Chains A and B, each alone.
Chain A
Amino acid sequence: MSLLEARSISKSFRGLKAVANASLEVPQGGIVALIGPNGAGKTTCFNMIAGVFAPDSGEILFGGKRIDGLRPDQICVAGIGRTFQIVKPFAGLSVLDNVIVGAFNRTKHLSEASRSASDILDRLGLGPKRDLPASSLTLPDRKRLEVARALATRPTLLLLDEVMAGLRPTECDLMVEVFRELNAKDGLTILLIEHVMRAVMALARHIVVLHHGEIIARGTPQEVVRDPAVLECYLGEETEV
């Protein structure tokens, strides 16, 4: 059974169709990547799933229940954690306190929230920086903090919005390893938007390609990278020289 199912969702902004009749499924325990050129509507899709705005039409089911139209906090409580493409750290708080805020989603007690936040920071390699103010972190660390905060809410589905952007290849591989482990050991289901193909190819078992708000291809990574429609939207149409 699929954990997340979006059935022909659409969203327009003042007549501009950002997403049109897009359907996608994320199976329980799966890792699905949503790719596409800039402006394809990937983040709009994410925002509809995460409750930032409701789809104009279509429906979104999570664990069999409709979640379209719910507020972002209700969706987080339901078990969907998300990161932001443009990172939004709580700049004035320490790294640890940032993650504790997320951990409070599943507990009322500071000691428990603090413990689970520390564990997550260690897992993401941010342990030594826990007492620094979040404002002092570098961009790669801020991306990691986004992930740590989302993980602290203990989601069953994690939405990652370009967390690899700006990371060096070695850092990227480390992140991939973390997500693989979370997926294999903790059974975390992941839906990611990503431009870094190195990460997409290493992580995703299934890829959905979005172009001009419409889904133009879907399949395994190997299938998708050979799909003429995908090549066309990324590289342009093949012409005789």
Chain B
Amino acid sequence: MTTVPDKVAEGVGSWLQRSMPLVALMLLVLLFSLLSPRFLSIDNLANIAVQSSHIGLIAIGMTLVIATGGIDLSVGSVLALSICVAGLAMAPADAGGAGLSHVTGWCIGLATGALAGAVNGWLISGLGLSPFIATLGMMSIARGVANVLTDGMPVEDLPEAALALGSSSIAGMPWSVLLWAGIATLGGLVLGWTRLGRYACAMGSNEEALRLSGVRIGPWKTALYVLSGLLSAAAGLIFLGRVSNAQPSAGVGFELDAIAAVVIGGASLMGGRGSMSGTVVGVVLMGVLRNGLVLMDVSAFWQQLVIGVVVVVAVLLDRWRSA
């Protein structure tokens, strides 16, 4: 016999399980607003959103890939390659560029990211490499190509318009945050409501069953890695505006931030499960941590420690949740 209080407790319990990352984020926000009077200002919240937006975009693609039980370690290098190619396309001729318009340059950058993703997809579903190995290879290849193209030097003198996505706002809203919000919503729809999203989760929980039900897995999986590459390039266009030049050394370690955000958000690295809203919360949570710790005058060493602990706790919670 279940009584009404039991049912309520059960309901609260399952809500809590699903919303664990959000609850953690809320507690953190509460803690920081108690400890620093400046934390909860509009300026500061906007600041956190802008800072998180490029990792936010990468993490959307990462969520889709991780849902399949895969991983994309190449995102940071693909970001660097995409902005270097875009930078060379947009920089004026006397600075060694092609002098194309900024929109053309952006499109070339996005195409570069998508192409790198397509190569990842082909290595994985065409040649049967494990996602870890294939994208580890791409991580080095994309970085190498970026360094070769730019001779290891940042591409400078980009037109001001080329930096808009990372440095300007429309009606008080930063472009980067709008892009992130829009694409995260789209990503959520793709994951929850489209065949691509359903197949992604199905690949992660039982790829063989999906194959036996007559689905040709290769093209679908490749599409997911193309999306991941494309989103890395889009993140790069924001990044470009943040740092004002296209650096071949950009994005080192971004894969780890993105993976951590996805895991904090409740996805399983074994695949089969992922939540776009959870990922957004995971990205914001890391942004809030980095911001709040600086606001509290916590030095850099402790920040590393705290962020590491949060990732481990998130994975432990994940195990507890799926047990």
A complexed with B: no
